[in-house]
Structure 1
Amino acid sequence: MITNMKISRVEAKRMKDGEIKGLGINIALDEVSVSGGEATIKYTYTADYQEGVGELTIQGELTAKEDHKLLKEIEDRWKKEKKLPDLFAEAVLNNVNYACGANGTLVVRAVNLSPPMIPPRIEVAKK
């Protein structure tokens, strides 16, 4: 269960005037650590306003309290593959997406960019 989420860095910039032809959203999980019954995930959220119009970058971290078995799986999978277990990854990505989309709406307004629309719920594809 995600218990805490904080944003540590926000940057919005408009590089040129013109019509926004599309919006690309990327969520990168930069670092995962497990300690004391919690997993801490550092992330970078990027909204790319296509055709070089602008960019929004938000960095932060979230903390999740999980049972020992899941924490072990999170730690092992991250060390081995730089991935998270599917259901846990969905929870993390959806929380980051929602928080950054909502907060990003306020930030991009200052540089006259449209809000980063919050896409539908993210689901990790099964292989």
Structure 2
Amino acid sequence: MNAGRGEGRLTTHVLDTMAGKPGAGITVVLDRLGPGDVRTRVAEARTNADGRCDAPLLAGADLLPGRYELTFAVGAYFQARGVTLTDPPFLDEVPIRFAISDAGQHYHVPLLISPYAYSTYRGS
């Protein structure tokens, strides 16, 4: 195990299951959650044409064990694509809370989205 060595990384990608293609241009925010759910913003990125961020959200010494929350701006994405949504949209921002226990591992947290549903898992 590489716990505590800071050799791992955190990545994400978004798949638009409604369109059957990558979710391009989605703003992704990463917060570290401290005691009492106090948030510290640690990264912000936008997905590229492949639905991925151009670089890991955290890597090396910046990847610390703890609790995190990724927030994806899916409402703005669907609005920009011209998808008819309710007002307000059923899904606007999708938060995913997860924990990193071993900073030496690769944590991949993908998001599969449609205007009315989403799914995630720990990928590789």
TM-score bin, normalised by smaller chain:
under 0.3
TM-score (norm 1): 0.27
TM-score (norm 2): 0.27
Point out the structure with max Rg over C-alpha: 1
**Which protein is richer in helix relative to its size?**
1
Comparing both chains, which one has the higher relative contact order based on Cα–Cα distances under 8 Å and sequence gaps of 6 or more? 2
